Each structure stands twice: as structure tokens, then as C-alpha cells.
């Protein structure tokens, strides 16, 4: 028997479709990670480009993603309680959190491509930009989905979009541990 707290995540057709999309996204992202490890193994010149400043930006991005996920779950809770104005406010906060994430990702890309000069022509830059770009594309879809939910919080399944947001926030933490931490100077700029 599945506990009711977990079964709520598959209670509607929209949520079940979201779980399928999450599973497909997971397979895509996992394949991209395997590809990155293969390129890293075969590359003779794999840099260690990240410093403490990059790590601060990455943690701010993780905070934005987690904030976007939690606030969207709160928006769903408020909508179920009939507090639709509150739900709208929480949804706007979630959208703002993910838009902040997108801005910080753009800053990190500019740093990587123009300042560190590890653009798509380098093995590291190619894998980094493809993996974070795929994640960024997911975030753009998520923000669009949140905006769609905002158009009618009474009718739309807000929790379905929150599920996808949860996945993106968790996957970002995976990216931190598999891309940023292993490619960081331990004490650079401290």
C-alpha cells in the first residue's frame, strides 16, 4: 500500500504525465553525464576552471531552485485551501526564483566562455554548456508552465508543475556534485 502523501503525486493525469516527463528527462540528463565522463576520460587536457566565486554563484542558483520548488508546492497548498490570491503570490515568487536562476546561469556562462575561455570549442566547455544548457531549457519550460498555472490557479494542477520544479532543483544539486565540485580548485581565491 502506497502512503497517501506519496500517492498524491500520481493522483491526477497531469501529475502522472509529469512523472513520465521527469523519467525521460532523467534518462536524458544521465546520458549527458555519462557522455561528459567519457569525454573527460578521453581528453588529454581537462581543466579545473571553477573557483570559489563560481561556487558562490552555484549555491545561489541552488537556493533559487529550491525556493522555486518549495514556493510552488506552497502555492498548490493555498489553492487547495481556496486561498487563490495567496496561491498567485506564491506562484509569482516561484517564477521570480527560477528567473533569478536563469540570470545567474547566464552570468556563469559568460564567465566560463569569455573570461575563463572554455567555450564550446573545448571538450570541457562543450560538455559543460550542453549539460547546463539542457537543464536551463528545462527551467525555461518550467517557468512557462508556472506562468500557465498562474493564468487560472483554480483549474490548473499546480502540483504537477511543482513536481517538475522539484526534479530540476534536485538535478541541479547533482550537477553541482558531478561537474562543479570535481572541477574546482580547492583553495583558489580564498
Contact 72, 146 (CB under 8 A): yes
CATH of 13-41+55-183, one of 1.20.120.80, 3.40.50.970, 3.90.950.20, 1.10.150.120: 1.20.120.80
Percent composition of the chain: helix, strand, coil (DSSP 3-state, to 5): 80, 0, 20
Listed by start position, the domains of the chain span 13-41+55-183
pLDDT in tens, 7-25: 777 788 899 999 999 999 9
pLDDT in tens, 112-161: 988 888 888 899 999 999 999 999 999 999 999 999 999 999 999 999 99
pTM of the complete model:
0.91
pLDDT in tens, 50-68: 888 888 999 999 999 999 9
Q: What phi-psi label fits residue 189: left (phi over 0), alpha (psi between -120 and 50 degrees) or beta? A: left
Amino acid at each position: 500500500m502506497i502512503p497517501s502523501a506519496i500517492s498524491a503525486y500520481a493522483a491526477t493525469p497531469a501529475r502522472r504525465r509529469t512523472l513520465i516527463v521527469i523519467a525521460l528527462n532523467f534518462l536524458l540528463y544521465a546520458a549527458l553525464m555519462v557522455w561528459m565522463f567519457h569525454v573527460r576520460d578521453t581528453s588529454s587536457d581537462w581543466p579545473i576552471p571553477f573557483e570559489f566565486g563560481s561556487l558562490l554563484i552555484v549555491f545561489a542558483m541552488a537556493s533559487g531552485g529550491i525556493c522555486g520548488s518549495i514556493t510552488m508546492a506552497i502555492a498548490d497548498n493555498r489553492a487547495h485551501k481556496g486561498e487563490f490570491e495567496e496561491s498567485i503570490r506564491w506562484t509569482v515568487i516561484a517564477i521570480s526564483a527560477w528567473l533569478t536562476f536563469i540570470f545567474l546561469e547566464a552570468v556563469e556562462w559568460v564567465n566560463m566562455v569569455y573570461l575563463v575561455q572554455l567555450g564550446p570549442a573545448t571538450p570541457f566547455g562543450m560538455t559543460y554548456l550542453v549539460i547546463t544548457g539542457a537543464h536551463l531549457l528545462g527551467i525555461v519550460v518550467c517557468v512557462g508552465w508556472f506562468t500557465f498555472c498562474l493564468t487560472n490557479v483554480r483549474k490548473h494542477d499546480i502540483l504537477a508543475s511543482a513536481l517538475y520544479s522539484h526534479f530540476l532543483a534536485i538535478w541541479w544539486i547533482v550537477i553541482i556534485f558531478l561537474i562543479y565540485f570535481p572541477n574546482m580548485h580547492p583553495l583558489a581565491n580564498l
